[in-house]
Structure 1
Amino acid sequence: MSRFWSQVVRDLTPYVPGEQPKIANLIKLNTNENPFPPSPRVLAAIRMELGDDAARLRLYPDPNADLLKMAVAKRHAVTPQQVFLGNGSDEVLAHIFMALLKHDAPILFPDITYSFYPVYCGLYGVEYRTAPLSEDFSINPADYCGPANGGIIFPNPNAPTGRLLGLAAIEKILQANPDSVVVVDEAYVDFGGETAIGLVNRYDNLLVVHTLSKSRSLAGLRVGFAIGHPALIEALERVKNSFNSYPLDRLAIVGAVAAMEDEGYFEQCCRAVIATRDTLTSELQGLGFDVLPSAANFIFACHPQRDAAELAKALRERSIIVRHFKLPRIDQFLRITVGTDAECQALTQALAGILA
């Protein structure tokens, strides 16, 4: 701590990202990255943008990234005026908290959820309340249909549980909160859920957030977007242009466009991840683990006879890392990213040895 710190900085509890260790021959199943590379079209588009001498890099990118807005709008059957782009979905979410969730009343989100939400509340001075997940770690829509609030936000599927909320339940929440923005954070929806984007033209208080880091394998390019009513998008644009007018670089824009346009490759990768997830779930259950139903590219599992922290430590000693959260109610769970078939097989073999 320094005497030069502002009071805001002194009061912050920053988000702790998943570990990115530099260890040889590591099986990395802790940060929900896609096990497959991005579409081959992405690299081709980046090479074309660079050209022979990369002279274009001396020029600023399009501040509105119109090519990408049009690609996203086409993919999701909306207009470009309904699309907002950012440097990863975390930046999109940060602008949402400032532009749409900072009101007099507290906002509402689950007690077990993406841990960046309370960080943003601390950064921007947003009051919040949490609604406890049910005993089975599902979101109860009724918890979001009663008290007045300054906005609602939740991931779907939820993180780190992986549990999915159906569209009928989301509509129930929207209808009960016509004067509040409802933000559905769909970072993982492509691995088994149905997107709420189809509802944005019926509910002007709905904002849906996506990332290209997971299902499009572009975590290294940092591209995210939100889709909603043009009035919500205008609020985000006002904040963005008061913060950073050029959030996406030239290579990220063309790479993201190429990824959005290669629908066949996208669907192929999602199917492969889902198949591996189902196999991994079955094998872990065979080892005695309790595994929550997941619609994401990770699973949330606990073993009734073994401590989660000790299991994570034992896996690390075998060069396999998973995510362990030292938080109430979930401190005996491990969040395990769905890797390749070979990586998941190595994980289950290691766990079998540890349990034996």
Structure 2
Amino acid sequence: MSRFWSPVVHDLTPYVPGEQPKLANLIKLNTNENPFPPSPRVHAAILAELGQDAASLRLYPDPNADLLKQAIARRYAVTAQEVFVGNSSDEVLAHTFQALLQHSAPILFPDITYSFYPVYCGLYGIASRRVPLADDFSINPADYCDPAEAVGGIIFPNPNAPTGRLLPLAAIEQMARARPDCVIVVDEAYIDFGGDTAVPLTQRYDNILVIHTLSKSRALAGLRVGYAIGQPVLIEALERVKNSFNSYPLDRLALVGAVAAIEDVAYYQACNAQVIASREKLIADLQQLGFEVLPSAANFIFGRHPRHDAAALAQALRARSIIVRHFRSSRIEQFLRISIGTPAECQALVDALRELVA
């Protein structure tokens, strides 16, 4: 601590990102990165933007990111006025908390979910209530729809993280109808691996905001691009906050790379199909080893072994240069979250676990 800190800093518990270890011959299955490279069009677009001497980098990027907004709008059949872009979905989420969720009533989110949500609440002084997941780790929409409870907003990932469980669109629509006076934020970081996006619902409900990232399904975690889709009144709030914080959040290379990734639909769908196939095979293989694995619509799985401690398994895997994610949190301390790697990486994981649980 320091006497120079602002009062808010003393009480913050920062988000802890997934480990990025620098180990040789590492099989990295802990941060849900895509195992495949981004579209070749991304590389070509970035090289074209740089040109022969990178002279374009002396100029500021487009503060409105018009070309990217238009590409996203075409992809989802919305207007560019319904699209907001930012430097990663985490930044988009941060602006969302400030612009749309900072009210007198508490916001609601699951007790087991993306751990950045309580961090933003602490940073911005937002009251919150964590809603327990059901015994099967699913979200029960009725738990968010009590008319007697004043609510300042609702946010959840779909599929949820770290469980991977998917909430049907009908359940999201149920929340939107039950809570017409608060924003329902659907964080769809993993939706392309097995679910239907809620973007079409934004055309019928003015209180639904959908947030996406290019880090997962477009394999661009290193480029840091995220976006939100909702009706213009919601997007305007995000733009006002963004332009009071950083008018140029996306650099020139990120903008052209993101457009290329969004437009190459065939490539990303083919890669996602491979991830889904690997996921289903990994689930089957782990179940044969005695693991209990939750249904997953994401590019990771969440499972536990009834006879083996999760922390001990994670440590033993690490000794074999295989990194997975273990959360020391109530209710899930015996689970491992395992990102879907290449087929060879998944097989190496299964072989190691077969030795460990035998």
TM-score interval for Structure 1 and Structure 2 normalised by the shorter chain: over 0.9
Report whether the alignment pairs 1:61 with 2:66.
no
Correspondence for 2:176? 174
Note the aligned Cα RMSD (angstroms).
Answer: 0.4
> How far does residue 7 in structure 1 lie from its aligned partner after superposition?
1.2
Overall identity of the aligned pairs, in %: 75
Correspondence for 1:28? 28
- Counterpart AA for 1:42: V
SS at the partner of 2:352?
A: helix
TM-score normalized by the length of structure 1:
1.00
> How far does residue 267 in structure 1 lie from its aligned partner after superposition?
0.5
Correspondence for 1:10? 10
> How far does residue 148 in structure 1 lie from its aligned partner after superposition?
2.0
- Counterpart AA for 1:103: H
> How far does residue 317 in structure 1 lie from its aligned partner after superposition?
0.3
**How many corresponding residue pairs?**
356
Distance, in Å, in 2 between the alignment partners of 1:280 and 1:200 is 34
SS at the partner of 1:299?
A: strand
Correspondence for 1:295? 297
Summarize the alignment of residues 41-80 of structure 1 with structure 2, pairs less than 5 Å apart. Answer: 41-80=41-80
Distance, in Å, in 1 between the alignment partners of 2:24 and 2:315 is 17
Correspondence for 1:88? 88
> How far does residue 93 in structure 1 lie from its aligned partner after superposition?
0.1
Summarize the alignment of residues 247-262 of structure 1 with structure 2, pairs less than 5 Å apart. Answer: 247-262=249-264
SS at the partner of 2:224?
A: coil
Distance, in Å, in 2 between the alignment partners of 1:41 and 1:261 is 9
Correspondence for 1:160? 162
Report Cα offsets for 1:29-81 as digits up to 9, x if no partner.
Answer: 00000000000000000000000000000000000110000000000000000
Correspondence for 2:138? 138
- Counterpart AA for 2:330: P
Summarize the alignment of residues 1-356 of structure 1 with structure 2, pairs less than 5 Å apart. Answer: 1-146=1-146, 147-356=149-358
Query: More deviation in 280-289 or 142-151?
Result: 142-151
Q: Which runs of 4+ in 1 moved over 6 A?
A: none
Query: More deviation in 143-152 or 40-49?
Result: 143-152
> How far does residue 5 in structure 1 lie from its aligned partner after superposition?
1.0
Report Cα offsets for 1:144-201 as digits up to 9, x if no partner.
Answer: 1112200000000000000000001110000000000000000000000000001111
Distance, in Å, in 2 between the alignment partners of 1:36 and 1:19 is 19
Distance, in Å, in 2 between the alignment partners of 1:5 and 1:35 is 40
Consecutive unaligned residues in structure 2, runs of 5 or more: none
SS at the partner of 2:120?
A: helix
Distance, in Å, in 1 between the alignment partners of 2:165 and 2:355 is 29
- Counterpart AA for 1:129: R
Distance, in Å, in 2 between the alignment partners of 1:144 and 1:76 is 28
